Amino acid sequence: MAVRSRLTTAKVVDAALELVDEQGIDALTLAAVAARTGVATPSLYKHVASLGDLRAHVGLRVMEHMTAWLTETVVGRSGDEAVSALVHAYRAYVQKHPKRYAAAPMDPLHDELQRAAGLKFMELVLATLRSYGLEGSDAVHAARRLRVIVHGFASIESSGGFGLPEDLDETYDQLVRMYLDDLRGQS
């Protein structure tokens, strides 16, 4: 059990992430995190303002983790190779961490705590798309299409929503090829 004086916001978020990884985002409560850290629930208020604040911290950590994971994948690559690596690594992240991914914020750019992490993620995607010569609105639309493809597919996949026997990797590869063809057509 943790000693109250040694508890930090980072340790509270660590405990929350462990809980989310094991049981899913719906299991995340202050009482469950307090039990996991060995303190009474009111002691958590020294580190997080509310359950919503804790969820925001968890979302921030997920964004940071995802961005680091994806950055490692695309560094040193460009064009189709970089985009393909990004979308495959993004899907792999969701496959490896489906419960954690469900805690990722849908709109981090409009949350004060998560904004910097959301911008860093967006900058990674835009940098990956840069070799196609897309700028301004065209780049943003291309980034949104990328997110819809990966998030939509991976979210349906992780919830068991694809029931037909055709190979999911082949379906995903078809989507990626369509997206790359679209990008090349725009540049």
For 29-57, the pLDDT digits (tens) are 999 999 999 999 999 999 999 999 999 99
Shared fold status for 1-48 and 58-186? no
Work out the average pLDDT over 16-31: 97
51 close to 92: Cβ distance less than 8 angstroms: no
Domain spans in the chain, listed from the N-terminal domain onward: 1-48, 58-186
**Best CATH choice for the domain 58-186 from the list 1.10.357.10, 2.40.110.10, 3.10.290.10, 3.60.130.10:** 1.10.357.10
- Rounded CA-CA distance 43/101 in Å is 27
| CA 99/CA 131 separation, integer angstroms | 33
Neighbours of 165 (CB within 10 A): 6
What spatial distance separates the first Cα and last Cα of the chain, rounded to whole Å? Answer: 57
Rounded mean pLDDT, 113-126: 97
pLDDT for residue 104 is more than 90? yes
pLDDT of residue 49: 97
Q: What would be the CATH architecture of the domain defined by 1-48? A: Orthogonal Bundle (1.10)
Structure confidence at residue 187 as a pLDDT band (50, 70, 90): confident
